Amino acid sequence: MSDNSNNNSSSSSSTGQLRQDHVTVRRIRDIAQRCSDRLYAGAHVPLEDIKIISVVIEEFVDAFHHGKEEKAYFPANEYKSAQHAEEIRKFLIEHEFSRRVARMMLRSLEDWKKSRAGGGEDGREPVARFLKTYAIYVTDHTTKEERFFDMAEKEIGAGEDAELLRHYERCRRDVGGDARIQELFRLIEYLEERDWMQ
C-alpha cells in the first residue's frame, strides 16, 4: 500500500502534488482515528506507536506538506484575488490549530509516560481526545483545501507551476530529502500493519 511515488513525480503539477500529499495525510488521519478509538475502548496501544504518529504528523504533515503550501503555493496564489487571500488566511489559521493540537497530544503522551513510570493514573483520555480532534481536523481541512485547489490551479501558468515545483524540492531537502520522506512512508506502513489497527 505504498504511496512512495506521491512526491517524486516530476510530471505532476504543483497542485497535483498537494492533492497526492492529501492521500497520505488521510492515511495518517485514519491511523490517528483508529488509535483514538482503541484508547477510548481501553485497548492497549504501545506508547512508542503513538510517538511515531506524532513524528509522522510533525515531519510529513506539518514540515513537508504544510511547508510546501505555506512557503510556496499559498504565497503564489494569495495575491490573485481577495477570495484567494481570505481562503489562504483561514488555511494558515487552521494549520496553526493543527500544530497546537499535535503539540498538546505529544505533551499529553509525555505526561502519560511519566505517570505510568511513577505508578500514577492512566493518561490515555487526553491523548485519545487530541488524536480524535486531529482526525476531525484533517477531514474538514483537506476537503476545504481541495475546493481551493480546484479554483487556484486554473490560474497557474506553466512557468509558475515549474517555479512552485522547484520550491517543493527545497521543502523536500529541508525535511531530510528523499531518504527521510521514504522513511516516513515506511513508518506510516508500519503503523497501518500494527495489530491495534486491525
pLDDT tens for each residue of 48-105: 999 999 999 999 999 999 999 999 999 999 999 999 999 999 999 999 999 999 999 9
- Interval 136-144 mean pLDDT: 98
The DSSP secondary-structure symbol of 176 reads: T
CA distance 156 to 126: 42
Is the per-residue pLDDT at 188 higher than 60?
A: yes
Tell me if 116 sits within 8 A of 4, measured CB to CB.
Answer: no
Please, what are the domains in the chain? 13-197 (1.20.120)
3-state DSSP assignment of residue 17: helix
The DSSP secondary-structure symbol of 57 reads: I
3-state DSSP assignment of residue 121: coil
Whole-structure pTM value? 0.92
- Interval 162-177 mean pLDDT: 96
Q: Quick count: other Cβ atoms within 10 Å of Cβ 38?
A: 19
Contacts 24+ apart (CB under 8 A), 54-57: 54/102, 54/105, 54/106, 54/109, 55/187, 56/28, 56/31, 56/184, 56/187, 56/188, 56/191, 57/28, 57/32, 57/102, 57/134
3-state DSSP assignment of residue 26: helix
- Interval 165-189 mean pLDDT: 97
Position 76 scores a pLDDT of 96
Task: Report the chain's C-alpha Rg in angstroms.
Answer: 18
Which tens digit of pLDDT belongs to each residue from 4-47?
444 444 348 999 999 999 999 999 999 999 999 999 999 999 99
CA distance 178 to 184: 10
The DSSP secondary-structure symbol of 194 reads: S
